[in-house]
């Protein structure tokens, strides 16, 4: 039975970003102490920007960045220099400010015409870095997630094929509601992580946070993130927690 999620509410958006950065670094130091590296999957969207900025400034001396391996939970079907690119956002707000070796950064190739090919390429990247035994799944030390107004997380959108995937680690996913493909990690990878943090900011998130955390029968994609053997955290500011 997955453990109950840990819900932490912060008084302000600034305190939320600081609290999330602190926890990121605490988990990172522990992972590097235990197994010599810290494997992280970043999220897209707008919410992670302020966390990235905290990590790139106040917290930049807390981790040996050459031991941190960066992946993404999902990517838009665009080249890495496009404004919608999750990779571009992370590069501008985090990676370009830290001494992370390029060989430690594994972006999803959203520019490939065939999103499924980008997914297969990424599955090979994961296999090379994590080297799981046959039948096992890669185990991230830390995965950052957000939730959209329809309850999607990563690019696991309601009613799409990817929410039914239980074998493959990464898939190309057609999202009818946005008339586009996305590349996304699947539930088996999310649920095999050691730590997953949902980062939610502002009153605009209060309704969906309430539905996800207080309405188990809502059957929302983000509700299916249930860690098999890990620590699930919801980091919220007062606005996002307003209805709890
Ligand atoms: C993406 C994300 C997506 C995001 C939510 C929340 O590529 O868009 O990975 O799952 O986390 O849509 O986005 P906001 O933080 O912008 O509200």
183 and 81 Cβ atoms separated by less than 8 Å:
no
Round to whole Å and give the CA distance between 7 and 109.
33
CA distance 161 to 164: 6
- The finding on whether 100 has its CB within 6 A of some atom of ligand 1 is no
Q: Is the CB of 184 under 6 A from ligand 1?
A: no
Q: Report the C-alpha gap between 195 and 107 in whole angstroms.
A: 20
Cα 104 to Cα 91: distance, rounded to the nearest angstrom: 13
pLDDT in tens, the chain (244 residues): 677 899 999 999 999 999 999 999 999 999 999 999 999 999 999 999 999 999 999 888 889 999 999 999 999 999 999 999 999 999 999 999 999 999 999 999 999 999 999 999 999 999 999 999 999 999 999 999 999 999 999 999 999 999 999 999 999 999 999 999 999 999 999 999 999 999 999 999 999 999 999 998 999 999 999 999 999 999 999 999 999 9
What's the whole-model pTM score?
Answer: 0.98
Residue 192 CB coordination number (10 Å): 20
Which residue minimizes the CA distance to atom 14 of ligand 1?
A: 45
> How far, in Å, is the centroid of ligand 1 from the Cα of 34?
31
Query: Quick check: 137 and 154 in contact, CB under 8 A?
Result: no
CB of 154 sitting under 6 A from ligand 1: yes
């Amino acid at each position: 039975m997955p453990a109950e999620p840990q819900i932490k509410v912060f008084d302000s958006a600034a305190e939320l970003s600081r609290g999330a950065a602190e926890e990121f670094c605490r988990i990172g130091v522990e992972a590097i102490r235990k197994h010599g590296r810290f494997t992280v999957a970043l999220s897209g969207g707008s919410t992670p920007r302020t966390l990235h900025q905290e990590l790139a400034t106040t917290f930049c001396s807390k981790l040996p960045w050459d031991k941190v391996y960066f992946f993404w939970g999902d990517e838009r079907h665009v080249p890495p220099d496009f404004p919608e690119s999750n990779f571009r956002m992370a590069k501008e707000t985090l990676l370009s400010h830290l001494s992370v070796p390029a060989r430690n950064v594994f972006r999803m190739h959203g520019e490939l015409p065939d999103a499924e090919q980008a997914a297969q390429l990424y599955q090979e990247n994961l296999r090379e870095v994590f080297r799981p035994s046959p039948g096992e799944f890669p185990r991230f030390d830390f995965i950052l997630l957000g939730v959209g107004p329809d309850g999607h997380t990563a690019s696991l959108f309601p009613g799409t094929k990817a929410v039914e995937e239980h074998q493959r680690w990464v898939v190309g996913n057609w999202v009818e509601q946005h008339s586009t493909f996305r590349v996304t990690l699947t539930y088996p990878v999310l649920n095999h992580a050691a730590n997953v943090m949902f980062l939610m900011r502002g009153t605009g998130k209060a309704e969906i946070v309430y539905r996800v955390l207080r309405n188990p029968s809502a059957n929302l994609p983000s509700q299916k993130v249930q860690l098999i053997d890990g620590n699930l955290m919801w980091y919220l500011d007062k606005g996002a927690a307003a209805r709890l």
